[in-house]
A and B are shown apart, each in its own frame.
Chain A
């Protein structure tokens, strides 16, 4: 049975090409893989190989022809034992019309509708904004956890890991200095003693490698906690965090994902300068497939860590070195698990909303005290989770106060404050009594000199200033 040989597409963008040269003549026998012609594409001259064996029965498009469209019939292939007069053999001898390209099987080619030209009408484009939907955050009765104990943020993080490791054999901790040294910042103190070297693993200084390795182990049933000594070093591993951990579930059509926690101190510490002082909240919160949390208090630390370990998705915990030593009252229950995607109103107020996360929550609360002295009643929201953002709590607060200030230690450009500004602009524009104000780090690499460092990082008085400004005071 004769088969059409079609003008092939030889690159992702090719729509037509020139048939430069035939390397076979009518009557020549060909085998699969034999080069039969040369075609000039928009990029290069390419060889065309036969995909089936047979004899070239007729050359339809002669060499030298310009602008041959992809999928046009360029020749007809016949079986070795067929005797066909090429004069009589035409495209129509092949049992299919030329506008429906076929192989030798008589099926209809299902052309991809996505091959429509750009600008085609897609119904219900509103779905594309679905991620901007404002949903109520998951419920959580925090008041129910009333047995408390004073402990540092550092201890709360450690206890959360220990509790989850006791409950689940597949959870393990890996990172630089996490075992014998007890953690570069002593967050993993005592874990090696309790869980042994199989589950608390000192790695070489090799972030890209061990992050990728942890991802591989998560794909095959383990639940790694990967500590980066600081998130600055995690940049070595950013490919595995985004491309390997964040995208696998989607790329696998939901077959397998990556239950993994990446954690470590984020943001500025004290006088460690540009390369060791950076906030990664907006970097990672940009990525669908990742969850990002950033605890402030001891309760945040414990409840978010436990939620992160139990979550079947990749979760990044952006801690803060300067907070590790702070003491807070922390629920003692093993079941104190803060739902991801739920913010906390740390201080209720009616005049202005101040949104913050991590170390900026403490500064925002201090600012609120100062503002109270000046007769301004500020509401302070601790985001806890950066992605998925608790849009509901922010918007409900703004509807009440009609004024908002965002605070972050990261740079302002494309930062978390910018995202919240977009949220307010899209969903609460009519509720605003003043333009939103952002408090962020100065848009420079962090300097070393003590005075410049203090100037570059957002301070309490700037929050006070911004809040007064949006209150027109």
Chain B
């Protein structure tokens, strides 16, 4: 595994922002469905939070749906995913059951972590989802480790490690760029740049361009429009091809926007209402796909049918999350250590 190489990589630094023409109706429908599931799920989570059924921290993904939807659409089965605390959407995109995710949010035994992890700490070995981490920046090192394991096991997998713009300033991110490049690890670093690390804008926190931060290590970086799911998909496809061909890591900085606050209790005084409104009105990733579906000839009834289907899935998850019992008191003591 070790053994640094002397080859010089030519970093590829370009900006992709245009969609490729000609998506099929099926593809449009799939994207519409996948993104709408995330949005409706998150709205429902916000609603249950408002009712006091979800506690603690709850970070919603509304507005950022195109990022994880575009990237996961070109992943392969053996790939692994890890992210930070704004993680519900990544789990949905990995194919995890909305019921199990919502029940974890409500702290019930039917949740993925039996109610012991909560919003920020969920995992699914089956779906290759490795968390759900509450410590900002940890997902990059754990992601590098997933990449390391793919290379060690020679299973052809790529690790996709998400971080926010805020996390990109953590020291361990630089440490992992270095090791990932040094050892040609199969890892896609995704910076979800939603412009604000909690209440601090990127302008106030970050020098230079985030996608260029791999340049010194020879890691290609690319900035992509994260409100356009096709732009994200195209960029991810190229990046994953590059990584899967044995070239080592790649950085995608995906420019996106969260409509809601950082967490549920954030009054969002650090940005103007006009800014939020203009993103919602002009750039919304789901509205864009809906327009494309209409242009492609899908009538209102067919779109409503998808809406209904998603609403039913989310409502079913919400019912399950409230009917599933709280964990038994004996659960307090289990899973601290693997018994030997």
Measured CB to CB, the closest approach of chain B to A29, in angstroms, equals 16
Whether A33 pairs with B146 at a CB distance below 8 angstroms is no
Say whether B301 faces chain A, with CB atoms less than 8 Å apart. Answer: no
Question: B86 contacts the other chain (Cβ, under 8 Å)?
Answer: no
B305 interface residue (CB < 8 Å to A): no
Give the interface segment out of A91-99, A106-114, A154-162: A106-114
Interface size class of A (residues with CB under 8 A): 35 or more
Q: Is the CB of B338 within 8 A of A312?
A: yes
Q: Please name all residues of chain B whose beta carbon is closer than 8 Å to the beta carbon of A6 when the two chains form the complex.
A: 50-51
In the complex, what's the smallest C-beta–C-beta distance from A216 to chain B, in angstroms?
2
If A8-B50, A221-B149, A289-B337 touch, whether A252 touches B138 (CB-CB below 8 Å) is no
Q: Does B10 contact A (CB under 8 A)?
A: no
A261 to chain B, nearest CB (A): 14
Q: Is the CB of A213 within 8 A of B323?
A: no
Which positions in A face B, CB cutoff 8 Å? 6, 8-12, 14, 32-33, 41, 43-47, 49, 51, 70-71, 101, 103, 105, 107, 109-110, 112-115, 127, 130, 172, 179, 197-204, 206, 208-222, 239-240, 243-244, 247-257, 288-289, 291, 311-313
Known contacts A44-B267, A51-B44; A253 and B116 CB within 8 A of each other: yes
Specify which chain A residues have a CB less than 8 angstroms from the CB of B315 in the assembled complex.
Answer: 103, 105
Q: List 20 interface pairs A-B (beta carbons < 8 Å), by A numbering.
A: A110-B322, A115-B52, A127-B332, A127-B333, A130-B333, A198-B152, A201-B1, A201-B2, A206-B179, A210-B179, A212-B138, A213-B141, A217-B149, A218-B145, A251-B113, A251-B117, A252-B117, A254-B335, A256-B125, A313-B338
Contact B322–A216 (Cβ < 8 Å): no
Given contacts A12-B57, A71-B51, contact A255 B3 (CB under 8 A): no
Given contacts A8-B50, A217-B146, contact A248 B131 (CB under 8 A): yes
Kindly list the 8 A-B residue pairs having the minimum CB-CB distance in the complex, ordered from nearest. Answer: A216-B145, A212-B141, A209-B175, A8-B50, A11-B265, A253-B114, A216-B142, A44-B267
Nearest chain B CB to A61 CB, angstrom units: 15
User: In the complex, which residue of chain A has the Cβ closest to the Cβ of B140?
Assistant: A212
Task: Give the contact-size bracket for chain B.
Answer: 35 or more
Set A172, A198, A255: member contacting B123, Cβ < 8 A? A255
Q: Are B141 and A216 in contact (CB under 8 A)?
A: yes
Give A253 to B117 CA distance when docked, in angstroms: 7
Determine whether B334 belongs to the interface, using a CB cutoff of 8 Å to chain A. Answer: yes
Which residue of chain B has its CB nearest to the CB of A122? Answer: B329
Q: Which of A109, A201, A217 has the most CB of B within 10 A?
A: A217
Q: Does B148 contact A (CB under 8 A)?
A: yes
Q: Annotate B85-96 by CB proximity to A: 1 below 8 A, 0 otherwise.
A: 000000000000
A373 CB to nearest B CB, Å:
43
B179 and A204 form a contact (CB under 8 A) = yes
Q: Is B340 an interface residue (CB 8 A)?
A: yes
Say yes or no for B246: interface residue by CB 8 A criterion. no
Nearest residue (CB) in A for B152 is A222
In chain B, positions 287-340 with a C-beta closer than 8 Å to chain A are 315, 318-319, 322-323, 325-326, 329, 332-338, 340
Partner of B336, one of A110, A112, A289: A289
Question: Counting CB contacts under 8 A, is B107 at the interface?
Answer: yes
How many angstroms between the C-alpha atoms of A215 and B143 in the bound complex? 9
| Chain A: CB-nearest residue to B260 | A49
Q: Which of A70, A103, A204, A249 contacts B182 (CB under 8 A)? A: A204
Interface residue? B43 (CB, 8 A): yes
Residues of A with C-beta under 8 A to B148: 213, 216-217, 222
